[in-house]
C-alpha cells in the first residue's frame, strides 16, 4: 500500500502569521504612543485607505483632506501596484483587521474541529454563504466606498473614522471615536465568528477598490490536474471560499494569495505559484518578497515629496528686506483645521510673509522678514494663546514647537 502523502511543514503559514502579528503589534504601539502623547505619529499616517479618500481633494484642490498626507497617498499607489502584481495580498499579509478576523475565525474552527481537517488552513467559521449569495453580498462594499469618497470630498473630513475597525481598534479612542463605535466593532467581531471574514468580504471599501486590479493580477495559484487527487482540502482552506479544487488558474479578484491552499495540499506538485502564459513554477516566497518590496517603495515614496495641507500669504515676498525661512515641527498641527487655526496666531504680526503647513508631518514652514522679526519671536507666538473668533476666547497650550529646522527646541525658547 502506498504511503499517504503528507503536507510539508507549514513554513509559509508561519512566515505569514509572523508578518501579520508584527504589523498588529506595530499598529498597537503606534496608536498607544500617539494617544499617550509620546509620539506625533498616528496610525492614520500609514493607512492606504486615507490616500484613496483624499484623492478627490488632491486632484481638484492640490491638497490633502484632514489629517491625510504623502504617506497615505504613496502607500495607496503602492497598494494598487501590489494588487496588479500579487492580487489582494495586502489583505492576508499586512492588514491588521484581516489578521484579527482570521484569528477570531480560527477560534470557531477549533471549536468545530476543523483544524483536524485543515492543519493550517483558514477557519471557515460557522456559516459559509452559498456562492451566488456570496457574490451579491460582496457588492455591498461599493456603496460603502462611494459614500466614503463622496463624504470626504464634500466635507474635507475623515467622517469614516468612527465606523472604521482599524481606526477604532488602534487609535486608542482617537478623534471622532464614540461609544457606539465600540458597539459596532463588537458586532463586526461577532459577525466574523459566524461568517468567515465578514468585514473583509462584504463591507471593506478598500477590498472592493482593489478587486478590479486583483482580477488582472500576474501572480496566481495554478492547479495541475495531473497531480491533483481531488481531496478538496484547498477549498476548505480558502477563507474567501474560492473553488480552488476545480480551477486551472485561480484568477478570482478575491484571492489574497495567503497561500494556505498550497500549504495544506497533500499532493506534491498539484498547486503552484505561476504567471500567465508561462509553465514556470514560481517559489512561494515571491509573494512576501513582492509585498515587502512594495511596502518599502510606498514608505520611500511618501518621504520624497511634500504637498501642503494649508497655506496663507500675509505679505508680498518682494517687499521683504531680508527674506528668510524657518521650518518648525509643531505638536498640535495635525490636520487641515488645526493648520488653519495655527495660521491665525500670526495675523497682525509684523514681518510674517507666508505660512505653509504639512499637517501629516506636523510641520509648518514660515517665510519672514528677518529685519522685522526673529525665529525666537515666531516660536513664542506659535507657543502662545490662540484666539478663537467664534467664542471670543483665548485658549492656551494648543501648539508647542518641538523642532526648529530639524533641531530640538532649546527649553528657554519654549518657556520665554
- DSSP secondary structure of 35-48: HTTS-S--GGGG-H
Q: Across residues 329-349, what is the average pLDDT?
A: 94
Which three-class secondary structure state does DSSP give residue 407?
Answer: strand
DSSP, res 115 = G
Same domain, 263 and 357: no
Same domain, 298 and 315: no
Same domain, 256 and 390: no
Same domain, 197 and 284: yes
Cβ-in-10-Å burial (0-12, 13-18, 19+) of 365 comes to middle
pTM of the model: 0.89
Q: Return the number of other C-beta atoms located less than 10 Å from residue 260's C-beta.
A: 27
120: Cβ–Cβ under 8 A, 6 or more apart, which residues?
7, 10, 13, 237, 260, 263, 264
Sign of the CA dihedral running 165, 166, 170, 175: negative
- Nearest C-alpha neighbor of 326 from the set 272, 375, 359, 360: 375
Question: What local confidence, expressed as pLDDT, does residue 334 receive?
Answer: 92
- Cell digits of residue 172: 486608542
**Looking at the domain assignment, is residue 6 inside a domain?**
no
The C-alpha atoms of residue 388 and residue 344 are separated, in whole angstroms, by 9
- Nearest C-alpha neighbor of 228 from the set 239, 244, 240: 244
- Cell digits of residue 119: 492543519
**Looking at the domain assignment, is residue 4 inside a domain?**
no
Q: Are 356 and 365 in contact (CB under 8 A)?
A: yes
Question: What local confidence, expressed as pLDDT, does residue 411 receive?
Answer: 57
Chain segment 15-45, per-residue pLDDT in tens: 999 999 999 999 999 999 999 999 999 999 9
Q: Which of 282, 303, 324 is the last residue of a domain?
A: 303
Measured CA distances, 318 to 71, 308, 332, 352, 374 (Å): 34, 22, 31, 13, 18
The domain total for the chain is: 2
Same domain, 238 and 109: yes
Question: What local confidence, expressed as pLDDT, does residue 229 receive?
Answer: 94
Same domain, 77 and 216: yes
Residue 361 has pLDDT above 70, yes or no: yes
**Looking at the domain assignment, is residue 393 inside a domain?**
yes
Measured CA distances, 129 to 133, 154, 240, 335 (Å): 6, 36, 11, 42
Question: What local confidence, expressed as pLDDT, does residue 116 receive?
Answer: 39
Residue 47 has pLDDT above 60, yes or no: yes
The C-alpha atoms of residue 362 and residue 240 are separated, in whole angstroms, by 40
Same domain, 287 and 200: yes
DSSP, res 163 = G
* Residue span of the structural domain in which 211 resides: 11-303
Chain segment 184-222, per-residue pLDDT in tens: 999 999 999 888 899 999 999 999 999 999 999 999 999
Q: Are 404 and 414 in contact (CB under 8 A)?
A: no
- Cell digits of residue 215: 482580477
Same domain, 249 and 357: no
Q: Which of 303, 328, 358 is the last residue of a domain?
A: 303
Same domain, 299 and 347: no
Q: Across residues 341-368, what is the average pLDDT?
A: 94
Mean pLDDT of the chain: 90
Same domain, 252 and 124: yes
User: Residue 267: CA atoms inside 13 Å, Cβ hemisphere, count?
Assistant: 17
Which three-class secondary structure state does DSSP give residue 230?
Answer: coil
Same domain, 266 and 342: no
Q: Return the number of other C-beta atoms located less than 10 Å from residue 414's C-beta.
A: 13
Element containing residue 165 per DSSP (H, E):
helix 165-170
| % pLDDT > 90, the chain | 77
The C-alpha atoms of residue 219 and residue 282 are separated, in whole angstroms, by 9
Amino acid at each position: 500500500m502506498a504511503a499517504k502523502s503528507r503536507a510539508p511543514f507549514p513554513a509559509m503559514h508561519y512566515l505569514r502569521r509572523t508578518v501579520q502579528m508584527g504589523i498588529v503589534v506595530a499598529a498597537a504601539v503606534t496608536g498607544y504612543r500617539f494617544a499617550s502623547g509620546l509620539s506625533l505619529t498616528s496610525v492614520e499616517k500609514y493607512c492606504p485607505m486615507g490616500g484613496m479618500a483624499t484623492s478627490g481633494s488632491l486632484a481638484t484642490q492640490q491638497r490633502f483632506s484632514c489629517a491625510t498626507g504623502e504617506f497615505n497617498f504613496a502607500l495607496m499607489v503602492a497598494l494598487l501596484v501590489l494588487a496588479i502584481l500579487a492580487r489582494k495580498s495586502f489583505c492576508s499579509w499586512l492588514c491588521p483587521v484581516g489578521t484579527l478576523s482570521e484569528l477570531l475565525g480560527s477560534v470557531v474552527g477549533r471549536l468545530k474541529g476543523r483544524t483536524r481537517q485543515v492543519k493550517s488552513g483558514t477557519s471557515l467559521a460557522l456559516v459559509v454563504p452559498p456562492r451566488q449569495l456570496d457574490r451579491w453580498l460582496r457588492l455591498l462594499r461599493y456603496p460603502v466606498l462611494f459614500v466614503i469618497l463622496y463624504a470626504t470630498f464634500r466635507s474635507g473630513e475623515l467622517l469614516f473614522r468612527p465606523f472604521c475597525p482599524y481606526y477604532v481598534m488602534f487609535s486608542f479612542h482617537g478623534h471622532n471615536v464614540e461609544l457606539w463605535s465600540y458597539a459596532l466593532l463588537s458586532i463586526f467581531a461577532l459577525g466574523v465568528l459566524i461568517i468567515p471574514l465578514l468585514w473583509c468580504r462584504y463591507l471593506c471599501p478598500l477590498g472592493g477598490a482593489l478587486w478590479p486590479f486583483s482580477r488582472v493580477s500576474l501572480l496566481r495559484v495554478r492547479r495541475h490536474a495531473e497531480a491533483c487527487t481531488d481531496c478538496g482540502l484547498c477549498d476548505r482552506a480558502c477563507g474567501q471560499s474560492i473553488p480552488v479544487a476545480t480551477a486551472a488558474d485561480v484568477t478570482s479578484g478575491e484571492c489574497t494569495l495567503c497561500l494556505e491552499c498550497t500549504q495544506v495540499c497533500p499532493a506534491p506538485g498539484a498547486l503552484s505559484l505561476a504567471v500567465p502564459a508561462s509553465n514556470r513554477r514560481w517559489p512561494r516566497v515571491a509573494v512576501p518578497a513582492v509585498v515587502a518590496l512594495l511596502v518599502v517603495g510606498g514608505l520611500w515614496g511618501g518621504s520624497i515629496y511634500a504637498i501642503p495641507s494649508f497655506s496663507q500669504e500675509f505679505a508680498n515676498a518682494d517687499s521683504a528686506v531680508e527674506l528668510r525661512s524657518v521650518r518648525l515641527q509643531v505638536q498640535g498641527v495635525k490636520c487641515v483645521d488645526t493648520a488653519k487655526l495655527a495660521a491665525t496666531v500670526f495675523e497682525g504680526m509684523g514681518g510674517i510673509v507666508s505660512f505653509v503647513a504639512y499637517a501629516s508631518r506636523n510641520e509648518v514652514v514660515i517665510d519672514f522678514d528677518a529685519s522685522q522679526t526673529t525665529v525666537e519671536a515666531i516660536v513664542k507666538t506659535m507657543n502662545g494663546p490662540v484666539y478663537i473668533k467664534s467664542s471670543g476666547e483665548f485658549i492656551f497650550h494648543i501648539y508647542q514647537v518641538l523642532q526648529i529646522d530639524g533641531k530640538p527646541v532649546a527649553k528657554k525658547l519654549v518657556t520665554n
